[in-house]
Amino acid sequence: MYNQKVLEAFAHPQNVGEIENPDGEGTVGNATCGDIMRITLRIENDVIKDAKFQTFGCAAAIATSSTATQMVIGMTVDEALKLTNARVVEELEGLPPQKIHCSVLAEEAIKKAIEDYRAKQQGKNIDKSNVEYV
């Protein structure tokens, strides 16, 4: 079902965990399966220096989050906002069609974390108690 690259990313995921006092954090749920993804970011001068993820998700969610976090480290926040789940899936050389929805979690959680970062910069505080289902 999964290709070798996805299996490798699942078996040895990178950037698992949580950044303490993150500059941005985002949690989203998947409306299809109910799984949840949380991304925390360390951002300096609009450049993502570190990204970590935690998930209650499947192998595809873990593989795509590992890959997405690796891809956004070093990007500016504007570049990271343009990262699509399709690009992450391409990096992993494909996912089974029924698993594409799992790859949306990382994209959306990264976007939400950047939204949180920008809100904090403007002195606003986003209510993070509700999980948004995408």
> With binding defined as CB under 6 A, does residue 81 bind ligand FES?
no
Residues 15-34 within binding reach of ligand FES (CB under 6 A)? 30, 33
Phi, psi (rounded to 5 degrees) for 53: -135, 155
What minimum distance in Å lies between the beta carbon of 34 and ligand FES? 7
| Near ligand FES by CB under 6 A: residue from 19, 57, 92, 117 | 57
Q: Which DSSP state fits 50?
A: E
**68 vs 105, beta carbon nearer ligand FES:** 105
Q: For residue 6, what are the contacts with CB-CB under 8 A and spacing of at least 6?
A: 59, 60, 63, 92, 93, 94, 95
φ, ψ at 131 (rounded to 5°): -90, 125
From the list 16, 33, 75, 126, the catalytic residue is 33
Contact positions vs ligand FES (CB under 6 A) = 30, 33, 35, 57-58, 60-61, 102, 105
Residues with a catalytic annotation lie at: 33, 102
